A and B are shown apart, each in its own frame.
Chain A
Amino acid sequence: MTEKKINKPHPGSFRDPAGRVFIDANGKLSRVIYETGKDDYEFLMRSGLYSRLVEEGLLIPHQEARERPESAHKIIFPSEVDFISYPSEWCFSQLKDAALIQLKILELALQYKMILKDGSAYNMQFYKGHPVLIDTLSFTAYTGPIWNGYLQFCRHFLAPLCLMSLIDPRLGLLHHVFPDGIPLDLARNQLSFRGLLHPGIATHIVLHSLFKRQNGCFNKQHRKKPDNLFAIIDDLKRTLTGLNLLLKESDWSDYEATETEYRNAKSGIIREILAMAKPTGVWDLGANIGSMSRIVGDVPVLAIDSDHSCVEKNYRLTRENKEKNILPLVIDLFALNEGGGWQGNERLSLFARGPVDTVLALALIHHLVFMNNLPLEMIRDFFAGVCEKLVIEFVPPDDPLAEKMSAGRTVILNSYNERNFEKIFSNRFRLILKRKIPRSNRAVYFFQKI
């Protein structure tokens, strides 16, 4: 067998000594498993746990390289996820589903005498519409009696879910500020009396937060049977299942129920354009609850909105309809997470996760201009940086909604008109098609980047 020379690992991949992630010049991802991770990996593969998890759609499948790497055990190629996302971008139900799946994986692993090394939300990704574990090296032989990832699980999943459910769903954004999960004392302080009303929260958050810092891992074997650990997992599952989010209507989550004639006409135009564009991937910016995302067809669609209620509704619809190609995320284009972690390398910015073939920017431009004073040139350059094809709806200044938003902004209004829009965008895009939307003064443009 020939030996393969290993290039440099990805700078954001360093936390697990058992292996590291590499991305080659073509963007292909691989994981190198070092000698330190050999025993656990081989046990995972031989015990039947890997097959069981992949069959049940809980673990990302991988292929092994035929070449043996230099000074390492093996190279594996995990199946690629359409779009990498982070816990701060997930709505309540996405985070809850990811938590419950991780506990299910942990229970199954214990049945095969293995355990997860950690309890990190960053080990989960959305693959074909549902959460899966992507960290194949996360498994180690179970020697009892505890789970080293228990605290991390409480910080990454339980604490933010409690805050989102009992106080405000926007508190899920705290994941970006605390990359290793919400500190339990912070969660306890924010929850206040609410933390004592639920036995599971009182135990795993409030009581847990009162314990002193301890250093080092617990290495002493007390007993091998994980009965007490199954009891903890069971209690965590009950606690999580009891956390729910009542969907409150936000300013935008009920928007798509209005003006159905306009919407039907617009849908027809979008279908016509998509048939011409034949996209291989779509970002639907300002997707609301995803009505336009759903007419794209069977290609990966990233449905972004800054409104949590919209994303929550959209995700519940994808779950109900068992849609595998749509990923709704909470992303505010004016508050992008630009990198993160050590030297900003551990998490990718939105731009680094692109570009994409086609962007849908429907009923969005007036928000960018009037709510954020963004010049048309900068909007054009943003789109040119993220896509090849652009489907954009121009909302004229005399549109009722644009009029409300632009009240008092005379300077911006002077330059915001259809003629100026077409002139500015023609510097970087070629117009393929323009369609006026019947029963409105709006128009949809299909552009190709020059």
Chain B
Amino acid sequence: MRKNILRLFLFPLAVLSVTILFLPSNAYAYIDPGAGSTLFQLIIGAVLGAGWGLRVLIQKLLQKKNDRKKDK
């Protein structure tokens, strides 16, 4: 429940605060498919990548802890 609330509110807020400097005054039509929303993807990739990396690290630590318990 707490995790969902965090994800629901804090995550978009984090992305918004990082990207606020890049927001245009008008929202134009899109880039051609080949160009790929470059800037947005770089920013979102960095934010999501950090979260993903943290999740992977936590999973590895928990796995090590479980392995140690099994050895005992």
Contacts and interface: CB of A to CB of B under 8 A. Distances in A.
B40 A208 contact: yes
B45 A184 contact: no
Interface in B1-46: 7-8, 11-12, 15-16, 19, 22-24, 26-42, 44-46
Q: How large is the interface on B (under 10, 10 to 19, 20 to 34, 35 or more residues)?
A: 35 or more
Contacts of B36: 146-152, 217-218
Contacts of A185: 27
A168 interface: no
Q: How large is the interface on A (under 10, 10 to 19, 20 to 34, 35 or more residues)?
A: 35 or more
Contacts of A118: 33-34
Nearest to B7: A199
Given A146-B45, A199-B8, A235-B48, A217 B27 contact: no
A149 B26 CA distance: 24
Contacts of A217: 34-36, 38
B38 A214 contact: yes
The interface centre, meaning the residue of A120, A184, A213, A234 with most chain B CB atoms within 10 A of its CB, is A213
Interface class of chain B by DSSP: helix
Contacts of A210: 23-24, 27
A119 B31 CA distance: 14
Interface in A126-183: 145-152, 154-155, 180, 183
Given A207-B16, A207-B19, A212-B28, A232 B41 contact: yes
Nearest to A209: B27
A228 interface: yes
A234 B52 CA distance: 9
The interface centre, meaning the residue of A155, A180, A183, A232 with most chain B CB atoms within 10 A of its CB, is A232
Contacts of A155: 30, 33
Nearest to B50: A231
B37 A214 contact: yes
A348 interface: no
Given A151-B37, A214-B37, A232-B41, A203 B27 contact: no
Contact of A150 (B11, B24, B37, B46): B37
Contacts of A211: 22, 24, 27, 37, 39-40
The interface centre, meaning the residue of B22, B35, B46 with most chain A CB atoms within 10 A of its CB, is B35
Interface of B: 7-8, 11-12, 15-16, 19, 22-24, 26-42, 44-46, 48-49, 51-53
10 contacts: A147-B36, A150-B36, A150-B37, A151-B30, A203-B44, A207-B16, A211-B22, A214-B38, A218-B38, A231-B51
Given A145-B42, A218-B35, 17 more contacts: A117-B34, A146-B36, A151-B33, A155-B33, A183-B29, A185-B27, A203-B12, A207-B12, A207-B19, A208-B40, A211-B24, A214-B37, A214-B39, A216-B35, A228-B49, A231-B48, A231-B53
